[in-house]
């Protein structure tokens, strides 16, 4: 798709070319017609001079007194020719020698103008006038060689065309500068959008042209509304979490009552349940606090985050001591909140460390968006259970500890950002393969390898 500047420039350029071409054609036709009218007017005068040179003869007819004819009609092939027809007279100029030119009959008082060819095949402009004299109908045809006239018109067209081209080039330069200066405000808006996308601003500060000022205002209003809604949701989540913590405290107090001493298993179950809910509440409270720090268009690099995350997982799974390998392209970045990225990768890598025999691998690349692949060398998952892995509470092996929420939380985060989450078997390691794809641009990259244990 072309930019607005290029489309405006092209439209204005085509308009200027069309207008200047049209005025060149109009001017050329006007000049040609004007010169032909001048020549025709002179030929009409010559026809009237020939009419005045006619006189009656003794037989009642007409004859032409050659002494009263202009000398230019006497020289052979001079470029000036005439023919007189009527009244028993057929007279041609000596300049025609033994040749003839086209002659057309017209009624008395009528006239006709046309182009024809001369005795040397040169272009002629001919004028025919009809007269009545001594009872005779007379048609006088006068013609003139117009090669010099045509050459003059062509010279005018060349000069006028050159001047028009120079004017066109000047106008194109001027309109280019006008378009660039007029759209300079849009460049400020573009810079503001880039700052917004990069997370360096929370609203659009650019002052664009008057035509798009309402759009900027609406965008800022939308961002403000989204921020307020996010804040209200965060506050509501916090209020709910605090209310749950209060109820959990009451349940813990009930479990500590003397009456519960005779039911140690029930007391233990209540404590474990309340502790599990408390951890979930604390986690959601943390997410609610961190969600307010996210800015539109924020991008998070993966390399530094993976270094810290792999170290943390190495500590959490110190007994198994898994080998965590990762490969990340320099351009790979997550367009979203840092805490969401950490929770997504944390859940995926923690699940892989939990099931692996000794090796976990993460590949991250920019491929029409961000693509993450987590693999392990564990037992994997049965094909029938792959679709159910991301369901809340589903556990492929009930004999192992866990809540079955990790992959479900990862799915929720991926769907929040419009991405896709898929499961399969790793062709290299043999265990579970989890692939996440977030849509977006795909800049070029060169992979770099890293490894942490």
The confidence score (pLDDT) of residue 338 equals 77
Query: pLDDT tens digits for 325-350?
Result: 888 888 888 877 777 888 888 888 98
At 65 the three-state DSSP class reads coil
H-only helix segments in 183-302:
184-197, 213-255, 264-291
Residue 141 pLDDT greater than 90, yes or no: yes
Query: pLDDT tens digits for 184-201?
Result: 777 777 777 777 766 667
Task: Specify the range with the lowest mean pLDDT, choosing from 11-25, 64-78, 196-210, 243-257.
Answer: 196-210
The confidence score (pLDDT) of residue 226 equals 77
Task: Specify the range with the lowest mean pLDDT, choosing from 110-119, 206-215, 333-342, 350-359.
Answer: 206-215
The CATH architecture to which 4-151 belongs is 2-Layer Sandwich (3.30)
Residue 57 pLDDT greater than 90, yes or no: no
Whether residue 439 contacts residue 369, with contact meaning beta carbons closer than 8 Å, is answered with yes
| Alpha-carbon span 247 to 240, nearest angstrom | 11
| Alpha-carbon span 167 to 252, nearest angstrom | 90
- Hey, which residues does 432 pair with through a beta bridge? 425
Whether residue 435 contacts residue 429, with contact meaning beta carbons closer than 8 Å, is answered with no
**Mean per-residue pLDDT over the chain, rounded:** 80
Whether residue 58 contacts residue 88, with contact meaning beta carbons closer than 8 Å, is answered with no
Q: Which residue has the tokens 């500047």?
A: 5
CATH of domain 300-452: 3.30.565.10
Whether residue 288 contacts residue 236, with contact meaning beta carbons closer than 8 Å, is answered with no
Give this prediction's pTM.
0.47
């Amino acid at each position: 798709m072309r930019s607005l500047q290029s489309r405006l420039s092209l439209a204005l350029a085509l308009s200027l070319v069309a207008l200047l071409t049209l005025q060149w054609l109009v001017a050329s036709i006007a000049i040609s017609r004007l010169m032909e009218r001048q020549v025709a007017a002179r030929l009409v005068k010559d026809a009237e001079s020939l009419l005045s040179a006619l006189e009656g003869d003794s037989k009642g007819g007409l004859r032409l007194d050659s002494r009263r004819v202009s000398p230019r009609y006497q020289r052979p092939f001079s470029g000036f020719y005439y023919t007189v027809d009527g009244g028993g007279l057929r007279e041609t100029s000596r300049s025609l020698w033994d040749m003839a030119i086209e002659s057309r009959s017209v009624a008395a008082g009528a006239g006709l103008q046309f182009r024809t060819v001369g005795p040397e095949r040169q272009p002629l402009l001919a004028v025919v006038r009809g007269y009545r004299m001594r009872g005779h109908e007379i048609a006088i045809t006068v013609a003139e060689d117009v090669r010099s006239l045509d050459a003059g018109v062509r010279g005018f067209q060349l000069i006028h065309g050159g001047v028009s081209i120079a004017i066109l080039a000047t106008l194109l330069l001027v309109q280019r500068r006008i378009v660039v200066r007029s759209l300079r405000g849009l460049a400020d808006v573009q810079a503001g959008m880039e700052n917004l996308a990069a997370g360096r601003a929370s609203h659009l500060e650019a002052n664009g042209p008057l035509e798009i000022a309402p759009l900027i205002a609406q965008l800022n209003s939308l961002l403000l509304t989204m921020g307020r809604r996010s804040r209200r949701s965060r506050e509501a989540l916090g209020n709910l979490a605090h209310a749950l913590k209060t109820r959990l405290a009451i349940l813990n107090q009930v479990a500590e009552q003397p009456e519960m001493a005779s039911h140690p298993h029930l007391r233990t179950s209540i404590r474990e349940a309340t502790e599990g809910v408390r951890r979930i509440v604390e986690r959601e409270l943390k997410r609610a606090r961190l969600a307010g720090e996210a800015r539109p268009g924020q991008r998070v690099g993966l390399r530094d985050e993976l270094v810290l995350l792999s170290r943390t997982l190495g500590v959490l799974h110190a007994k198994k001591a898994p080998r965590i390998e990762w490969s990340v392209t320099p351009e790979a970045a997550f367009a979203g909140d840092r805490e969401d990225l950490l929770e997504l990768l944390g859940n995926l890598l923690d699940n892989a460390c939990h099931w692996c025999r000794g090796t976990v691998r993460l590949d991250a690349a920019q491929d029409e968006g961000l693509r993450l692949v987590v693999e392990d060398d564990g037992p994997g998952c049965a094909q029938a259970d792959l679709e159910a892995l991301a369901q809340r509470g589903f556990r492929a092996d009930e004999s192992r500890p866990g809540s079955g929420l990790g992959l479900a939380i990862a799915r929720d985060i991926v769907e929040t950002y419009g991405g896709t989450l898929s499961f399969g078997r790793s062709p290299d390691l043999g265990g579970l393969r989890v692939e996440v794809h977030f849509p977006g641009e795909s800049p070029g990259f060169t992979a770099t390898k890293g490894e942490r244990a």
